[in-house]
Amino acid sequence: MSKLNIGIIGAGRIGKVHTETAAFRLPEVSVACITDVDRDAATRLANRCGISKVVDSSEDVLADPSVEAVLICSPTDTHADLIVKAARAGKQIFCEKPIALDLARIDAALEAVAKAGVQLQIGFNRRFDANFARVRQAVAAGEIGTPRLLHIVSRDPAPPPIAYVKVSGGIFLDMTIHDFDMARFLIGDEVEEVFVAGGVMVDPRIGAAGDIDTAITMLRFRNGVIGMIDNCRQAAYGYDQRAEVHGSLGKIATENCYPNQATISTAASVGRDLPLNFFMDRYLESFAAELRSFTEAVMEGAQTAVTGEDGRIAVVMGLAARKSYDEHRPVRLEEVAGKAAAG
Amino acid sequence: MSKLNIGIIGAGRIGKVHTETAAFRLPEVSVACITDVDRDAATRLANRCGISKVVDSSEDVLADPSVEAVLICSPTDTHADLIVKAARAGKQIFCEKPIALDLARIDAALEAVAKAGVQLQIGFNRRFDANFARVRQAVAAGEIGTPRLLHIVSRDPAPPPIAYVKVSGGIFLDMTIHDFDMARFLIGDEVEEVFVAGGVMVDPRIGAAGDIDTAITMLRFRNGVIGMIDNCRQAAYGYDQRAEVHGSLGKIATENCYPNQATISTAASVGRDLPLNFFMDRYLESFAAELRSFTEAVMEGAQTAVTGEDGRIAVVMGLAARKSYDEHRPVRLEEVAGKAAAG
Amino acid sequence: MSKLNIGIIGAGRIGKVHTETAAFRLPEVSVACITDVDRDAATRLANRCGISKVVDSSEDVLADPSVEAVLICSPTDTHADLIVKAARAGKQIFCEKPIALDLARIDAALEAVAKAGVQLQIGFNRRFDANFARVRQAVAAGEIGTPRLLHIVSRDPAPPPIAYVKVSGGIFLDMTIHDFDMARFLIGDEVEEVFVAGGVMVDPRIGAAGDIDTAITMLRFRNGVIGMIDNCRQAAYGYDQRAEVHGSLGKIATENCYPNQATISTAASVGRDLPLNFFMDRYLESFAAELRSFTEAVMEGAQTAVTGEDGRIAVVMGLAARKSYDEHRPVRLEEVAGKAAAG
Amino acid sequence: MSKLNIGIIGAGRIGKVHTETAAFRLPEVSVACITDVDRDAATRLANRCGISKVVDSSEDVLADPSVEAVLICSPTDTHADLIVKAARAGKQIFCEKPIALDLARIDAALEAVAKAGVQLQIGFNRRFDANFARVRQAVAAGEIGTPRLLHIVSRDPAPPPIAYVKVSGGIFLDMTIHDFDMARFLIGDEVEEVFVAGGVMVDPRIGAAGDIDTAITMLRFRNGVIGMIDNCRQAAYGYDQRAEVHGSLGKIATENCYPNQATISTAASVGRDLPLNFFMDRYLESFAAELRSFTEAVMEGAQTAVTGEDGRIAVVMGLAARKSYDEHRPVRLEEVAGKAAAG
């Protein structure tokens, strides 16, 4: 069997997920080397996963001629530059979302990718989740007819630390960005306009940091579909990730995933354990499917499932959502896109 | 047992529901007389329900001194005038929604009621549905903490005839009006602003009639809660009536009602029969509970559960929603309320 | 509309249910008279339901020439005699289960009915419950193919008073009798043999009274189907009434009925309110459907849906079950049937 | 990190599962060598899993001094002998169920294990399934009070090939054996007596082979709990694996596992995709948890979670069940146990 040699940049939380997937679950992948600014973290991960080579820097990864593809799992502010460098080095690229928080840097990165003729996949792993994939399948196959209405509910178990909130780019670019991508993925069409109603309901410190923690974002798609995304930084019962599409022939709706299928009935209530609470548990399989998809695309020279343009549009939507919230009016994506919204 | 003597105006679809409830399910009610412009319809219903007196007109009902309370179940455009006349006749009043489609007539009716010192209850029966009542109970009792987000899904099995659409007052005053009342009921606070995204997705003839058939209406409450109402005039799988409230301590969400609790598993799928398809089946019990509530309020001299002001505000919300759709911007209720929104 | 004139014997708990149904929900029924050994109880019920005639005894009911049909809702030990007398009086008969606890009296009653050529329906109301009716429909229509396995779960919220236990005839004739009838109804075939494992797990006083409170009864049907009935006199979470049939093309299974369809998710659990706890709530609609079915059968001269033979066989099964428990071996119904098991 | 060196005997279906788990999911395990009578199969699996050493025979595995523990995944009729040899070689032993189909061979194997002082774990993987583990947890922790009634439903998607049926030992030793172990695991007590009703309902060729394909097995536990196991070799809708325990404080019941949590509502029905259909999908995680449990027990010198005695008792139950079916009477385990039933 031919194998894809990859290099990994970043051994933090998400880097760990991808490295373990590559090492233990994808026989067609071989990890050539790994790096992290915290070298000990990289070494620990390498030992655990049987990776023989820990290198000093991303430059070393990119300079390794055996590396065919790189996984960019470093902090957000390094993504765009690393994409440019990796593209210039002729590497196939998998990069975590978001590409960057401003469009100029994104466009520079995408240009470098286009120029180099390499593949780029952005880490919108939820597309590979069995639930959301099933919704997309139903819409694409016409099981529910022509789509009319879309609901996405995406609530976190608890808000991130305030320090993180301050550098996160705000709820729309940090959290809703996944839902923006999901909306486009599920409907298979582009959003033209957003309108946001939101507020600070979870923690006033989030408001003091200039962000909000709760929002409903209304979406109007080019094809007429109307959608809404419900976000909240805190849900007492855990991680709440659902979608529903209503179409001319019916609807499809997903429920959350649970650690078990047991129901306990007592004199107090009929209940079950809380849903999977941590994104790593909830989306574990999707991370594996995502990397498998990237690997296959690269090995077959096929288009990746989530392109750089997909990564750009999600950021455009985040910027438009923030503008809508600030100016309290519907905002068309073309107001912020810097070029015609792609599709 | 003391009984409440009622007169019934209107023996159409909804009049039939209330008459049967009064005759067969409320021992504390006695139907003194009934009328309808279609006298045969009134006679048939009277015979079926053991009502001995069919009269010629609403005037006859109101002139009957034995009648303590009237149920106004005639067409919408007669509601306001009948409320005025009934109030002047000193009758207690139950009136179907909406009071009227313009605020001046509503205000005249409410003024007459106030002047006469009689009770008025508006027919927002869904407040008495076990599912929605349970949501309200959870919110009111603090079971889910401070409310943050509200979802209402309200989809009809099929659109009404086009002839009806033309005189209905439009989707917001005909269909969403129930959901506007539900939103206020569930959250227990007033809406300040609405924003609508909608379209014609079900039947172009609805668009030709100047109406839309599909919409998401975003609501901003005075207390900061953000809500959204999802409406569609057609759902292939039947009548879809759900609500969800997410709060600081959790969420409460309702599912549809089904004719049975059986699940059939075959080689094709794991499924069940469609939800109750007809509003009369779905809300049968709520109609009975509604009339019981009215009867008790009148007999005890207590405030009715759904006031004339409740009826007015729902119309204000409908007018604001239409304005938002037409002008494609968020609209504050005070723009159309004609006076400060009550609460 | 032609009406059926009925007389009612017994104004206790179940008599009240049937009387209210007849008075308020069945326009085709007219209650001619009612009696009870507690005349005050009969009078109160008559007043509540608008019944003009309260008579002294069952003899008076049977002597009333306007009475076409009687509802026998008196205590079990009077059933058989009243059936005989009613049959001789030429009345159509609806009788609560069980007909009697010994087969000789049952046979005498059935003989009188046959001789008089009147109709007899036994009060196995659960056949008319929407859930169980749906299971039967699926089996009868072949939706799940040829049936193989049957499960019935039937657990009470709490055991009856010990005084009642002592005269009840035991769990099999008092409680399981409903499930025996349900088993035959769902499968549409006769049981040949039963085997019981049971014990006293709820209350030792039930054991002291010579009864048991918990049992699994295995059933072997003539057509090869194997079934089991799970009974317990006490379920902390309420009234538990379910069935499942597994066949060659799939299975159908029912869930309990709940007061509402709301789910509450908090930091503690994802749960809902307890199922309907009282048999009158759970089976309210089935009582109405049962009486409607009897009325229609009588008015159309058609066979009643639950015959005297059905009533007899359920008692045979109860006797066989007790024998199996006592002798700790499988028991064929023909051992106790006194004649070949019917079917 | 210290690692456990294991040797694997058998590269068939179940050997493949354990080998992949050991190679890819258990960092604390190192696979020293593997063997199979089909050497190509062993080689393919070794290559896929990065195992460097394929040996000729189980003797070679047992002779390898670096091998600390062996996984016996070869056909059933080799289990007992391999356990004896492995014990004599001083290896820790994981062996697939059943140990053997006759008790003399089982006893010889267990004696060798005891004499050698090595650990033995039997492959009842379902104990490690999240659903069943949750039921056990609820029972053990008293969440449902004192257990009274147990249901286990265990139906296969399709019967095995007739050739396999002939050598399988029969449904009770091949299929129900898992449920026998599950029954003891869930209740935490020993079964005293079984009674079986069964038949040939799926395929007459199974009957011609001397076996049955459908059965309900009633269990009486020493502590008074009554249980029943529902087995069928074919379920049109897939793999059906459920359990329910009813106790003095409530019940706990599990549902099947599904590939996704999506529900599709159309004009035809409200349904979802079929449950996970293949035992490898359904129980994938349980196989990993099982091997992890064995590894930990061995490394810590602790008692394994599923002992040789557990393996023996399940076979005793299978023999008793067959005897009950053949002789059509309840059979006490001590009739077939050859010694007092253990506990």
Cα–Cα dist B54/B43, whole Å: 6
Measured in whole angstroms, the distance separating CA B168 from the mean position of its chain's CA atoms is 14
**How far does D264 lie from chain B, in Å, by closest CA?**
9
Cα–Cα dist B322/B336, whole Å: 11
Q: What is the pLDDT of residues C178-220, one digit of tens each?
A: 999 999 999 999 999 999 999 999 999 999 999 999 999 999 9
Contact by Cβ (8 Å): D14, D73:
yes
Handedness of CA A324, A327, A329, A334 (dihedral sign): negative
- Chain C residues near any Cβ of chain A (below 8 Å): 235-237, 265-267, 269-275
Does residue D342 have a pLDDT over 80?
Answer: no
**How far does B237 lie from chain A, in Å, by closest CA?**
6
Q: How does residue D279 score in pLDDT terms, banded at 50, 70 and 90?
A: confident
Tokens of D18: 């354990």
Cα–Cα dist A219/A181, whole Å: 12
Q: What is the pLDDT of residues A195-218, one digit of tens each?
A: 999 999 999 999 999 999 999 999
Q: Does C250 sit within 8 Å of D236, measured CB to CB?
A: yes
Q: By C-alpha distance, which of C147, C97, C32 is closest to C312?
A: C97
Closest-CA residue in chain C for B251?
A: C265
Return phi, psi of residue A122, to 5°: -100, 145
Give me the amino acid identity at B205.
R
Number of H helices, E strands in chain A: 14, 15
Tokens of A261: 């299928």
Tokens of D9: 């005997």
Q: Does D226 sit within 8 Å of C199, measured CB to CB?
A: yes
**How far does B103 lie from chain C, in Å, by closest CA?**
36
Q: Does A273 sit within 8 Å of C274, measured CB to CB?
A: no
Q: What is the pLDDT of residues A257-284, one digit of tens each?
A: 999 999 999 999 999 999 998 888 899 9
Residues forming beta bridges with residue C243, ordered by sequence position: C152
**How far does D127 lie from chain A, in Å, by closest CA?**
13
ipTM attached to this prediction: 0.94
Q: What is the pLDDT of residues A113-135, one digit of tens each?
A: 999 999 999 999 999 999 999 99
Tokens of A293: 């998809």
Burial environment of residue B50 by CB neighbours within 10 A (0 to 12, 13 to 18, 19 or more): exposed
User: Cα separations (Å) of C230 from B50, D150, D152, D249, D253?
Assistant: 46, 10, 13, 17, 14
Q: Give the residue carrying structure tokens 């997937």.
A: A21
Q: How many Cβ pairs closer than 8 A exist between chain A and D?
A: 87
Does residue A342 have a pLDDT over 70?
Answer: no
Q: How does residue D1 score in pLDDT terms, banded at 50, 70 and 90?
A: low
Q: What is the pLDDT of residues C147-177, one digit of tens each?
A: 999 999 999 999 999 999 999 999 999 999 9
Q: Which of B257, B259, B262 sits opposite C252 (nearest CB)?
A: B262
Give me the amino acid identity at A209.
A
> Dmax over Cα atoms in chain C, in whole Å?
67
Q: How many Cβ pairs closer than 8 A exist between chain A and B?
A: 96
Tokens of D8: 């694997």
**How far does C201 lie from chain D, in Å, by closest CA?**
7
Contact by Cβ (8 Å): B76, B109:
no
Q: What is the pLDDT of residues C209-249, one digit of tens each?
A: 999 999 999 999 999 999 999 999 999 999 999 999 999 99
Which chain D residues have a beta carbon less than 8 Å from that of C249? 236
Q: Which of A197, A202, A329 sits opposite B218 (nearest CB)?
A: A197
Please give the torsion angle defined by the CA atoms of residues D275, D277, D280 and D281, in that order, rounded to the nearest 10 degrees: -40
User: Cα separations (Å) of D222 from A28, B47, B152?
Assistant: 53, 66, 53
> Dmax over Cα atoms in chain B, in whole Å?
67
Tokens of D203: 């395929």
User: Cα separations (Å) of A291 from A27, A34, A129?
Assistant: 12, 16, 12
Question: Which of helix, strand or coil describes residue B166?
Answer: helix
Q: By C-alpha distance, which of B265, B230, B262, B226 is closest to B246?
A: B226
**How far does B129 lie from chain C, in Å, by closest CA?**
9
Rg (chain A; Cα; Å): 20
Closest-CA residue in chain C for D193?
A: C197
Q: Does B265 sit within 8 Å of C261, measured CB to CB?
A: no
Q: Does A215 sit within 8 Å of B235, measured CB to CB?
A: no
Cα–Cα dist A279/A281, whole Å: 5
Q: By C-alpha distance, which of C125, C100, C126, C129 is closest to C112?
A: C100
Burial environment of residue A279 by CB neighbours within 10 A (0 to 12, 13 to 18, 19 or more): buried
The percentage of chain C sitting over the pLDDT mark of 70, rounded to a whole number, equals 98
Closest-CA residue in chain C for B272?
A: C252
Does residue A340 have a pLDDT over 50?
Answer: no
Q: Which of A199, A226, A329 sits opposite B330 (nearest CB)?
A: A329
Which chain A residues have a beta carbon less than 8 Å from that of B183? none
- What is the model's pLDDT at position C53? 96
Question: Which of helix, strand or coil describes residue B273?
Answer: coil
Where would I find the beta strands (DSSP E) of A214-314? 214-221, 226-232, 240-247, 250-254, 262-266, 270-272
Does residue D343 have a pLDDT over 60?
Answer: no
Tokens of C65: 């020439």
Q: What is the pLDDT of residues A33-58, one digit of tens each?
A: 999 999 999 999 998 888 989 999 99
Helix D284-300 with D13-20: angle, nearest 10 deg? 60
- What is the model's pLDDT at position C341? 40
Q: By C-alpha distance, which of A221, A238, A213 is closest to A185?
A: A221
Q: What is the pLDDT of residues C52-104, one digit of tens each?
A: 899 999 999 999 999 999 999 999 999 999 999 999 999 999 999 999 999 99
3-state helix, strand and coil shares in percent for chain D, rounded to the nearest 5: 40, 25, 35
- What is the model's pLDDT at position C339? 65
Q: How does residue C1 score in pLDDT terms, banded at 50, 70 and 90?
A: low
Contact by Cβ (8 Å): A245, A149:
yes
Question: Which of helix, strand or coil describes residue D50?
Answer: coil
Q: Say which residues have a Cβ less than 8 Å from residue C194's Cβ, sequence separation at least 6.
A: C217, C218, C219, C220, C317, C320, C321, C324, C330, C331, C333
Low-confidence residues in chain B, pLDDT < 50 = 340-343
Give me the amino acid identity at A173.
L
Q: Does C264 sit within 8 Å of B251, measured CB to CB?
A: yes
**Which of A228-237, B57-66, C23-32, C39-48 is predicted with the least confidence, judged by mean pLDDT?**
C23-32
Please state whether the peptide bond connecting residue C98 to the residue before it is cis, i.e. omega within 30 degrees of 0.
Answer: yes
Return the residue in B269, B276, B277 with the most chain D beta carbons within 10 A, the one to mutate for interface testing: B269
Q: Which of B149, B214, B235 sits opposite A216 (nearest CB)?
A: B149
D134-156: average pLDDT: 98
User: Cα separations (Å) of A278 from A237, A258, A283, A310, D244?
Assistant: 11, 11, 8, 25, 28
- What is the model's pLDDT at position C159? 97
Which chain D residues have a beta carbon less than 8 Å from that of A152? none
Q: Which residues of C148-179 are buried (b: 16+ CB within 10 A; e: fewer)?
A: bbbbbbbbbbebeeeeebbebbbbbbbbbbbb
Q: By C-alpha distance, which of A227, A138, A250, A252 is closest to B238?
A: A250
Q: Which of A218, A232, A240 sits opposite B148 (nearest CB)?
A: A232
Q: Which of C48, C260, C264 sits opposite B131 (nearest CB)?
A: C260
Contact by Cβ (8 Å): C136, C186:
yes
Q: Does A264 sit within 8 Å of D138, measured CB to CB?
A: yes
Return the residue in C20, C265, C282 with the most chain B beta carbons within 10 A, the one to mutate for interface testing: C265
Contact by Cβ (8 Å): A221, A227:
yes
Residues forming beta bridges with residue B214, ordered by sequence position: B199, B232
- What is the model's pLDDT at position A338? 83
- What is the model's pLDDT at position D339? 64
DSSP C48-66: HHT---B-SSHHHHHH-TT
Question: Which of helix, strand or coil describes residue A56?
Answer: coil
Q: What is the pLDDT of residues D71-85, one digit of tens each?
A: 999 999 999 999 999
Contact by Cβ (8 Å): A112, A86:
no
Question: Which of helix, strand or coil describes residue A234?
Answer: coil
Q: Which of C237, C269, C273 sits opposite A274 (nearest CB)?
A: C269
Question: Which of helix, strand or coil describes residue C216?
Answer: strand
- Chain D residues near any Cβ of chain C (below 8 Å): 145-146, 148-149, 151, 155, 195, 197-199, 201-202, 214-216, 218, 220, 224, 226-228, 230, 232, 234-237, 240, 246, 248-251, 328-330
Contact by Cβ (8 Å): C121, C94:
yes
Predicted TM-score (pTM) of the model is: 0.95
Q: What is the pLDDT of residues A170-195, one digit of tens each?
A: 999 999 999 999 999 999 999 999 99
Cα–Cα dist B98/B337, whole Å: 16
- What is the model's pLDDT at position B49? 85
Measured in whole angstroms, the distance separating CA D286 from the mean position of its chain's CA atoms is 11
